[in-house]
Structure 1
Amino acid sequence: MGKITFIEHDQTKHVAEFKTGSSVMQIAVDNLIPGIDGDCGGECACGTCHVIVSDDWFRKTGTPGGEEEQMLSMTPERESTSRLGCQVVITDEMDGMTVHLPEFQM
């Protein structure tokens, strides 16, 4: 098992273990990380799992697809390294990854 660190907008840190193949959203929901709602259950339809990936980890998350880009375009706190957590599938090489949570979700 690997670990991922979630950092809330107030800098509160939460470290969660993950199994490869889980999504960032599912890891957050399973570990009761505040600030990740995942209202649509991971269907890329709500934008309530917005995370901002640290620069050094962003390339490992893959490229956002069209639906994800559309959802992110409506996110007021979007950054250049924003992703929807439901669309980021964890691999072994993401052990130690850090993601930041925006102050507000859509």
Structure 2
Amino acid sequence: MFDRVLAACSIKPRESRIKEFRDIVNCLPECNRDTLKFLLEHLLKVTQYSERNRMHTANLAIVFGPTLLWAPAAQAHNIAVDCIQQNNVVDILLNDYHDIFDRRHA
């Protein structure tokens, strides 16, 4: 689903992008979806202290993007470009967390 996730980042308008991310997340096996949700919830708690720890969503995306979303070897293009795209995905997941994971929108 790597290419689908990357493509979802450029979807406009925001509501359509969120719907696509919601669909992608719902396609994950339940254990992966629950783990992702738990991790994102924790990272959002970390952002509550960003004045002290400098870990706002963009910095967390830089740290966790390459770890959470890495390209399969056959799909790896350019490491620098892939990192930017991976960071963008994590940034969207964090910033739009409530809209993506809120069951009322499903």
Task: Give the TM-score, by structure 1 length.
Answer: 0.30
Structure (1/2) with the larger helix percentage: 2
Greater RCO (Cα-Cα under 8 Å, separation 6 or more): 1
